[in-house]
């Protein structure tokens, strides 16, 4: 129903308010589910942990997860301090623009947009074949992988334009079930140790002081990708000053405990000396092979189904993250302005969501028509490159926090302003270098393949394009350039704190 406007609200204000995200809909728990969904715990445990055990032969994987958790917790000290001062759905974009300058901010935005889209679209390359295989195993019906991918795409597309808290509730159901089964599997494995009995060998930090440990740490970092999404949802948080910090640390803690416990439990059940060979034989079925002798077939089937829903949770999380970055750029007219529109009913970033949905469908169709392998040609390279992009953003964000806090003389103490962001930047730079050094094996390229060093150059190309775009904005659209990274306060001005809600 059309309502008359109060005399103190202009038509310009109505337009602005209708283009804002829904405020106050996400608490720390709901935000945590978005981040856990992006991490896809079951996929990491069943796929990544098994692969690292089987390929590297290094058994100190549980310790690697602890080390990475410490690094990311140190990074988060400055990150959440920044989030308390800058509330913006384009988190990296705004933080880096404020700390390192507008050209760097625009570059961060495009890298983030590319990275989250790569991660989300890559997951369709895993979800489609996984669902098709599960359906065939249980019903005998052989459906093409792309049909299953399109079915999941439709679910994600529908949720993307609905209320963000509804998405959060869907993720809560999926992740509570997923984490419950993971912990249950861990209990089964620990209750049925190998003949050697319980062993703490794989919890020995000394196991990481060995050649190849860098690749293990890289894999561990990729398992945490998604924890940084808390700031993306800050505009929709119930209390941005507290919610982002709580959700960030809670997510890191939950992921660290679940990954470390599961990786250790797998080594206990298989035996520390046998776990690498066992994982090499069974690959992504390692955890199921370890619990199958001690549980019912139904329990194994539930686990396989929840591994698929883990991917679905990742699809939902990355879709929402990608849409909000496109929305933030559209709102500030760095990208076409229509992307900055929100639904009047749900306050979701409607057109940004539709654009991401269209891109995902186009990629699925391309892979299906060309006959490309969705796993080897989609999931693995897309997931690694997307994760690499996020890793670069973490390094840049650390530098931006140090610069912003120091240059603005903010009274946050040397610990938050300089020590933690610089420490995190150094550690993350080392991990970034290890990622580049091990990129070929990570995405299955043959030794010596030139693609191993050419692929990271994609981000260099993006950086060059971004500098050109930023200089063009500065020269031709100075108003847009001046607003880069300003976020909702820069967009709505005096309305930023005014509780105005008008439905048309």
pLDDT of residue 444: 66
- The 10s digit of each residue's pLDDT in 344-399 is 899 999 999 999 999 999 999 999 999 999 988 888 888 888 999 999 999 999 99
Instruction: Write down the mean pLDDT value for the chain.
Output: 87
Sequence length of the chain is: 504
DSSP one-letter string for 216-241:
HHHHHHHHHTTGGGGGGGGGGBS-HH
pLDDT 10s digits, 56-115? 888 899 999 999 999 999 999 999 999 988 999 989 999 999 999 999 999 898 899 999
Residue 360, number of CB atoms within 10 A of its CB: 26
Domains and CATH numbers, the chain: 28-484 (1.20.1740.10)
Comparing CA positions, the residue from 296, 306, 295 lying closest to residue 131 is: 306
pTM of the model: 0.89
Q: Nearest 5 degrees, angle CA 84-CA 89-CA 93?
A: 85
Which H, E and C letters describe 433-471, residue by residue?
Answer: HHHHHCHHHHCCCCCCCCHHHHCCHHHHHHHHHHHHHHH
User: How does residue 495 score in pLDDT terms, banded at 50, 70 and 90?
Assistant: very low
Distance, in Å, from the CA atom of 203 to the CA atom of 333, rounded to the nearest integer, reads 50
pLDDT per position as a tens digit, 113-161:
999 999 999 999 999 999 999 999 988 888 999 999 999 999 999 999 9
Name the most confidently modeled range: 146-155, 213-222, 415-424: 146-155
Chain center to CA of 161:
19
Phi, psi of 200 (to 5 degrees): -100, 15
| Alpha-carbon distance values, 276 to 209, 287, 307 (Å) | 18, 13, 22
- Rounded to whole angstroms, the Cα distance separating 202 from 469 reads 49
pLDDT band at 7 (very low <50, low <70, confident <90, very high): very low
Q: What's the whole-number mean pLDDT along residues 336-347?
A: 91
Answer for the pair 189, 266: CB distance below 8 angstroms, yes or no: yes
């Amino acid at each position: 129903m059309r309502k008359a406007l109060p005399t103190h609200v202009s038509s310009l204000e109505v337009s602005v308010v209708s283009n804002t995200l829904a405020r106050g809909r996400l608490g720390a728990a709901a935000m945590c589910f978005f981040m856990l969904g992006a991490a896809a715990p079951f996929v990491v445990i069943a796929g990544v942990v098994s692969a690292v055990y089987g390929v590297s032969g290094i058994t100190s994987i549980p310790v690697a997860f602890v080390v990475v958790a410490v690094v990311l917790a140190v990074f988060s000290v400055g990150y959440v301090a920044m989030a308390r001062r800058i509330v913006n759905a384009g988190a990296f974009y705004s933080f880096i623009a404020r700390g390192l300058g507008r050209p760097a901010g625009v570059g961060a935005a495009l890298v983030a947009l590319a990275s989250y889209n790569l991660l989300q679209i890559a997951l369709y390359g895993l979800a489609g074949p996984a669902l098709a295989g599960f359906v065939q195993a249980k019903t005998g019906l052989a459906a093409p992988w792309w049909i299953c991918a399109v079915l999941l795409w439709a679910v994600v597309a529908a949720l993307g334009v609905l209320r963000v808290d509804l998405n959060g509730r869907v993720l809560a159901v999926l992740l509570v079930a997923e984490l419950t089964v993971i912990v249950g599997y861990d209990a089964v494995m620990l209750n049925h140790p190998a003949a050697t009995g319980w062993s703490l060998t794989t919890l020995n930090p000394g196991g990481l002081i060995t050649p190849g440990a860098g690749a293990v740490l890289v894999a561990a970092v990729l398992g945490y990708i998604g924890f940084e999404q808390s700031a993306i949802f800050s505009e929709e948080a119930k209390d941005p000053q507290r919610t982002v910090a709580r959700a960030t640390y809670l997510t890191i803690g939950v992921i660290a405990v679940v990954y470390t416990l599961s990786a250790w439990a797998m080594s206990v059940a298989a035996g520390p000396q046998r776990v690498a060979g066992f994982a090499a034989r069974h690959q992504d079925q390692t955890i199921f092979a370890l619990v199958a002798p001690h549980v019912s077939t139904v329990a194994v089937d539930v686990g396989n189904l929840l591994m698929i829903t883990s991917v679905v949770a990742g699809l939902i999380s990355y879709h929402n993250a990608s849409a909000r970055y496109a929305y933030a750029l559209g709102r500030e007219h760095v990208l076409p302005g229509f992307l900055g529109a929100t639904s009047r009913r749900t306050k979701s970033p409607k057109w940004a969501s539709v654009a991401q949905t269209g891109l995902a469908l186009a990629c699925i169709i391309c892979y299906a028509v060309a006959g490309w392998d969705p796993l080897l040609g989609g999931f693995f390279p897309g997931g690694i490159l997307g994760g690499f992009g996020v890793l670069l953003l973490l390094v840049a964000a650390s530098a931006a926090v140090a610069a912003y806090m120091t240059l603005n003389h903010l009274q946050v103490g040397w610990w938050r302003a300089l020590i933690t962001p610089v420490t995190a930047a150094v550690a993350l730079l080392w991990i970034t270098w290890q990622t580049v050094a091990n990129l070929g094996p990570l995405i299955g390229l043959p030794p010596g393949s030139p693609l191993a060093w050419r692929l990271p150059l994609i981000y260099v190309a993006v950086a060059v394009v971004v500098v050109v775009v930023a200089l063009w904005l500065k020269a031709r659209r100075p108003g847009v350039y001046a607003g880069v990274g300003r976020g909702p306060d820069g967009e709505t001005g005096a309305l930023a704190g005014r509780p105005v809600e008008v439905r048309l």
